[in-house]
A and B are shown apart, each in its own frame.
Chain A
Amino acid sequence: MLRRMRAALALFVMLFAAVNALSGDSVNTLVIYDQRVTDLENYTKFFKSLKESSYDKSSNQREYRVQFAAVNNGDAELLQLYRNDDKLYDNLIIFPLKTRQISKEISTAKLLEFYKDGGDILAVTSPEGLVEPVRLFLNELGIYPSPKNAVLKNFNEDGPSSKHQISIANSVNKYVYDGTEELNLEYDGSSALLDNGEYIVEILRAPRESVCKNTNSKEEDWSVGSQGHLIAGFQSLTNARTTWVGSSSFFDDEHYSANGAFIEELTKWAFSEKSVIRSVGATHNHASGASYEEIPYKIKDEVVYEIGLSIWDGKKWAPFSADDVQFELRLVDPYYRLTLSPGRVTEDTQYYTTGTFKLPDHHGMFTFLTEYKRSGLSFVTESDTRAIRHLANDEYPRSYEITNSWVYLTAIGSVIISFILFVVFFIASSKNIPVDSVKKQQ
């Protein structure tokens, strides 16, 4: 029995290693496209940028192993995200699809599963191509792209033109694009409405004078002005990212000279190459340096809490600096909420510390919690629940240490002394045996 289990375990380890090797260094990416809408020849610059970075020379070469799969073209074999429950790809890029379904294997549920599993998704739609599973998937995230045939227009201009020059001022998330370079993006496509979800990352807003509507029908406008979004992202609790872009021409070679720098930053964000932070761990201990294991906490102890954060700069982990990292000490409700101040720095980590603070005068199971969730950055949560005990019976001050009690101590002492004196005097002063006791003896 044991041997069989061991054999199974060995097999499992080998399998695991094989899977790891497969997805090892290079990043497996599946690109799904529709030949009727997308001609891959127009996107050479974009796909080249996935292999090698053309703008940011400082960062290392990107090594995306890109797999193309066209719908409705006998690529059914390739159109799957899982084989035997193993995730085949790290990233998924979906270009506009005109079909009803992506494939038998890739349904809305599969997309959700892939995303929950940590796969990053870049979904590109356009007024011509918005496939149902992708739409439903995006709707679940709270991104509502405009329906087919609805086009973003400038309401000051009449005519069929739907091309927009978009100022970089519309880029709202500095963790996606930091705005160091003034760009004028060229955009032609649809817009999306966003709901109030916490995990949605606004990336590019529609211009103020834009309107998105289907000119052929009398439905109400999908979005008006900066209410609409041209590019939106979503980061799940597992730190997987989904990015939606409402235009496929945004990526093509023709516009690459205008959009290239932005696209590169965008894909870096979308595929978790940037704005990824991690915690190297949070620690807390007595101000004296003794750990919880050595001396469990009791109420009003002085303790120090520290957390180290690093950010991935494309090659290695580097110290992450911020001034809004907060720490909470919770027992259902927070008892403390402290903004952490930067402490020591190592080669790859910036440590943040609370400094010495006093535990509350309340015993219970307290959670030492740091929850750093900023839109655009990956989420960091460190929590540790520890007991804070009450004072032991001999940890209170002694009665004689409390000046108020001296009154009572004096009273007790004087009663005892006067009783002893009374007894002594009573015995000494009574020369005769009391009458009662004589009676009793008889």
Chain B
Amino acid sequence: MRQSTLLALESFQTILKALIFVAIFGVAISTRLFSVIRFESIIHEFDPWFNFRATKYLVSHSFYEFLNWFDDRTWYPLGRVTGGTLYPGLMTTSGAIWHILRKIGLPIDIRNICVLLAPAFSGFTAWATYEFTKELKDSSAGLLAAAFMAIAPGYISRSVAGSYDNEAIAITLLMVTFMFWIKAQKTGSVLHSTLAALFYFYMVSAWGGYVFITNLIPLHVFILILMGRYQSKLYTAYTTWYAIGTLASMQIPFVGFLPIRSNDHMAALGVFGLIQIVALGDYIKSQVSSERFRVVMMISLALIISVGISGLFLLTYMGYIAPWTGRFYSLWDTNYAKIHIPIIASVSEHQPPAWPSFFFDNQFLIWLFPAGVFLLFLELKDEHVFVLAYSVLCSYFAGVMIRLMLTLTPIICVTGAIAISKLFDIYMDFSVLLPSKPVNEIKPIETKDDVKESAALSEEDDDYEADLALDYEPSSKARWFDVAAKAIVSSTFLVYLFIFVYHCTYVTSNFYSSPSVVMPSQNPDGSVALIDDFREAYYWLRMNTAEDAKVAAWWDYGYQIGGMADRTTLVDNNTWNNTHIAIVGKAMSSPEEKAYEILKAHDVDYVLVVFGGALGYSGDDLNKFLWMVRISEGIWPEEVKERNFFTDKGEYRVDSQATKTMKDSLMYKLSYHDFPSIYPNGVGQDRTRNQKITVNDVGPLDYFEEVFTSEIWLVRIYKLKSPDALGRDHGEAATFDRTLQSGVKKRVVKKPTLELRV
């Protein structure tokens, strides 16, 4: 009887679980579709535009061509070895999906596949989180974690429809790799660790953040060894994972020999060596098992570690191992980037986050996170050590760089789910209301009792409920208190959960669903208006300029110009060449004639600037201008000086009090050219910086001519004048034209002061 009840429960559970998963998938995908509904099926932001362009290249060329793609439309005139400097995982994934769908007779536009890839993968992330959490606690915690993962804004921020970025699939792969690692580490199964290595390889092919896995798994192993928890299972799991994973990762052209040459990967190699020694020591110990062994062990360990570390230093010093990268240093010292590598500091997602953003991205999970970690600490199984290491590392990293909030979110979801599920295990357990039965009576279902039919099952259910009614004991007051306390606690948490869902939906729909290519704003009557200046400008470039025209713009817009306007750019968001970016920065911060010279030397035809003054858009080029100055000052400290762009009082001003250097700079002129004159009295109101610009502030523009200004003046495009036919400087020629027009005549002809003709 009981067994059959349990069987029924079991199958009911399976169905319920399946239903829950369907719901989680549904929620995960649908909540990410806000952007498509609010706006349209469009690729978002900046980097996705490159990924999209690369994907289009992949589906229109062979994989071989993609792998060896030399992109002559970016980083003019250097070009970019794109095939060798990208993580191809994302493009190959959507390329493969595109090909498969075509094979089965579903030809879908590649753009739609790219737009919807991130939502599709978020469902798998939820599943992987479930499996991961299940290994840590049980399946109920797993389900909670999966649900959290599906809707946590910290993850949604990088995976809404249209956010076609590496992170879109990388987080999924991260969780799958970790899940297989935990399984491998628990069981010592070669299969699981091979799977972990394969997914690690996939991760390496998809995102530079793979280094996180490369360091976290060795750290886990290292801590376990230090804790004296070495087992042969651990040896099998780690060595299998490391050998296969490393060899596989070296097949990605962009990674190449980094795993044995870069310091970021040395921890994994070191632990790989260490575990061999530990294994040997373990073997010797089992053979010798004497007191002496300990002494030998300690000495040899100290020796090995010191030799290893000094070897590392020596090899780094001699240049065989690449030193730590700048991005790595900036993880430890938040001021490092600001001083040494302004280009990294200039990226907003590399800034430290404000504290409220932790709550914003994770809501109540952020305070359940420590509770979950604490609960795991109490138990401290081998796999819990992994979660602890992960939590500690990632909390720090997320505190340094807002972008790494993304890697913190999964572990917050997992630990938060564990905390809640532990709480519910106790407080949702209303079995006191059931007839008291010793728990140990329940035994695992055995197969021989599998005779019950579905009809019988329903009878059993009736019996069960009848049992409930019969064994009800209302007499005990204590039991009532117990029930009341549980009801209060659990209902409180249910309310929290409800608010969490509400918060997630609200944040997703209002903050994380904007494509940033198209911006929402409000009409005076409150209705939504879309600001579509970017696409307007890019489309203008596409339709009105020569196919091989070169466009100079600050690097932020490089990928978009490449993707939407299909024109050659000087610099883009790949930022691999700081000097080249500094050249554009120098041109922007130099006076017109110097800028013209620099740009002409690089065959530039058009200059594109983003100007938010008319609209009040704060992300415009004048606000980024100081970074341009800083980056170029880093290369030419003699020619560009940041101090000259500030007033004597140290203010960043663009109005009549702006410094001469500021007013002469190309960026200033291109931004404000003709701007004041559209206002009455010639006094323009810069709504971004809240300063007044008068006609007299903006000098004449002689070397460039305005060819396009978008509807709300957000994007302005200028053409470099072709060289003067008479070989004159454009400035001189324009001055001459102005004196002709003003009609001032000089009666007396004076002998010119000329240099000696050579």
CB-contact partner of A237 in B81, B727, B733, B736, under 8 A = B727
Q: Which residues of B are found within 8 Å of A195, using beta-carbon distances?
A: 752, 754-755, 757
Assess whether B253 is in contact with A364, with CB atoms less than 8 Å apart.
Answer: no
Complex Cα spacing A159 to B457, Å: 138
Interface residues on A, range: 35 or more
CB-contact partner of B745 in A109, A132, A140, A238, under 8 A = A132
A207 located at the interface, meaning its Cβ lies under 8 Å from any Cβ of chain B in the complex: no
CB-contact partner of A390 in B70, B548, B602, under 8 A = B70
Find the A residue at minimum CB distance from B745: A132
**Min C-beta distance of A259 to chain B, whole Å:** 25
Assess whether A109 is in contact with B737, with CB atoms less than 8 Å apart.
Answer: yes
Assess whether A196 is in contact with B77, with CB atoms less than 8 Å apart.
Answer: no
**Min C-beta distance of A144 to chain B, whole Å:** 5
A237-B725, A392-B68 known; A193+B752 contact, CB < 8 A: yes
**Per-position contact with A for B592-604: 1 when CB-CB < 8 Å, else 0?**
0000000001110
A220 located at the interface, meaning its Cβ lies under 8 Å from any Cβ of chain B in the complex: yes
Complex Cα spacing A348 to B651, Å: 67
* B66-125 at interface with A (beta carbon < 8 Å): 67-68, 70, 72, 76-79, 81, 84
Complex Cα spacing A131 to B417, Å: 92
Assess whether B726 is in contact with A222, with CB atoms less than 8 Å apart.
Answer: no
**Min C-beta distance of B362 to chain A, whole Å:** 43
> Count the B residues whose beta carbon is within 8 Å of the partner chain — how many?
34
Assess whether B736 is in contact with A140, with CB atoms less than 8 Å apart.
Answer: yes
Complex Cα spacing A210 to B548, Å: 55
* B726-758 at interface with A (beta carbon < 8 Å): 726-728, 733, 736-737, 740, 745, 749, 751-752, 754-755, 757-758
Q: Which residues of B are found within 8 Å of A220, using beta-carbon distances?
A: 751
Assess whether B725 is in contact with A238, with CB atoms less than 8 Å apart.
Answer: yes
Assess whether A236 is in contact with B81, with CB atoms less than 8 Å apart.
Answer: no
**Min C-beta distance of A284 to chain B, whole Å:** 16
CB-contact partner of A364 in B78, B737, B749, under 8 A = B78
Assess whether B602 is in contact with A332, with CB atoms less than 8 Å apart.
Answer: yes
CB-contact partner of A365 in B79, B81, B749, under 8 A = B79
**Min C-beta distance of A426 to chain B, whole Å:** 15
Q: Which residues of A are found within 8 Å of B728, using beta-carbon distances?
A: 140
Complex Cα spacing A331 to B754, Å: 35
Complex Cα spacing A136 to B548, Å: 39
B26 located at the interface, meaning its Cβ lies under 8 Å from any Cβ of chain A in the complex: no
Find the A residue at minimum CB distance from B748: A147
A135 located at the interface, meaning its Cβ lies under 8 Å from any Cβ of chain B in the complex: yes
**Min C-beta distance of A133 to chain B, whole Å:** 10
A135-B749, A238-B725 known; A363+B79 contact, CB < 8 A: yes
B723 located at the interface, meaning its Cβ lies under 8 Å from any Cβ of chain A in the complex: yes
Q: Which residues of B are found within 8 Å of A222, using beta-carbon distances?
A: 751
Q: Which residues of A are found within 8 Å of B745, using beta-carbon distances?
A: 132
Complex Cα spacing A43 to B725, Å: 33
A62 located at the interface, meaning its Cβ lies under 8 Å from any Cβ of chain B in the complex: no
Assess whether A141 is in contact with B72, with CB atoms less than 8 Å apart.
Answer: no
Q: Which residues of A are found within 8 Å of B79, using beta-carbon distances?
A: 363-365, 387, 389
Assess whether B726 is in contact with A236, with CB atoms less than 8 Å apart.
Answer: yes
Assess whether B727 is in contact with A193, with CB atoms less than 8 Å apart.
Answer: no
Q: Which residues of A are found within 8 Å of B740, using beta-carbon distances?
A: 107-109, 136
**Min C-beta distance of A165 to chain B, whole Å:** 24
A268 located at the interface, meaning its Cβ lies under 8 Å from any Cβ of chain B in the complex: no
Complex Cα spacing A406 to B724, Å: 62
Assess whether A197 is in contact with B548, with CB atoms less than 8 Å apart.
Answer: no
CB-contact partner of B727 in A108, A109, A199, A365, under 8 A = A199
| Top 7 closest pairs, chain A to chain B, by CB | A389-B70, A387-B72, A392-B68, A365-B77, A147-B749, A236-B725, A237-B725
Could you pull out 13 A-B pairs where Cβ atoms are within 8 angstroms? Answer: A112-B726, A116-B725, A193-B754, A195-B752, A196-B754, A196-B757, A219-B751, A237-B726, A332-B77, A363-B81, A364-B77, A365-B79, A389-B70
Residues of A within 8 A of B (CB): 107-109, 112, 115-116, 132, 135-136, 139-141, 144, 147, 193-199, 202, 219-220, 222, 234, 236-238, 240, 331-332, 363-367, 385, 387, 389-390, 392-393
